[in-house]
Amino acid sequence: MVAAGGTQRVPLREGTFTIPEDGGPPRLCGTRCPSCGATYAGQRVICLGCARRGLEPHALSPSGTVWTFTIVRQQPPGSIMKAPYPIGQVALDDGPIVAAAFIDIAPEDVRIGMPVEMTLVPIRKDDNGNEVVAHAFRRRKEAAR
Ligand SMILES: [Zn+2]
């Protein structure tokens, strides 16, 4: 996607998530079983549900709920986050549970079951002037579901 100034947004790790051209929400890359419909985070070869080989690429739901969390109180070396901050796992609406950094949620406000959605966070510029982005989860805007 083209960001302000004509530069592109590129993922911190290629193949981790999509950045839709149409301005839709970013989605983590996963796989889905065409036989039983089981959905997985990341790339799987064999379905754990029915043992089928040949799973299909699947863009995971951009929304879910906080599955669990903890508060980081000591600043890790090189981290762009400022301790204390919450990290944890998110149960996506289509099933998989994924590791998550949370953004714009104060440590005292995060709760198990809180509705969250994926967003992209600028990390730095690369050598070509592109904006390198990472994914994180923030409180879901339309929390009326
Ligand atoms: Zn299956």
Q: Phi, psi at residue 73, to the nearest 5°? A: -110, -15
Cα–ligand 1 centroid distance for 60 (angstroms) = 16
Contacts of 22 (CB under 8 A, 6+ apart): none
Q: What is the pLDDT of residue 12?
A: 86
Cα–ligand 1 centroid distance for 46 (angstroms) = 8
pLDDT of the chain along its 145 residues, tens only?
555 556 788 888 888 898 888 888 899 999 999 999 999 999 999 999 999 999 999 999 999 999 999 999 999 898 888 899 999 999 999 999 999 999 999 999 999 999 999 999 998 999 999 999 999 999 998 654 4
Cα–ligand 1 centroid distance for 72 (angstroms) = 37
Angle at 33 between CA 31 and CA 38, to 5 degrees: 85
Cα–ligand 1 centroid distance for 43 (angstroms) = 14
Q: What is the pLDDT of residue 6?
A: 60
Cα–ligand 1 centroid distance for 90 (angstroms) = 22
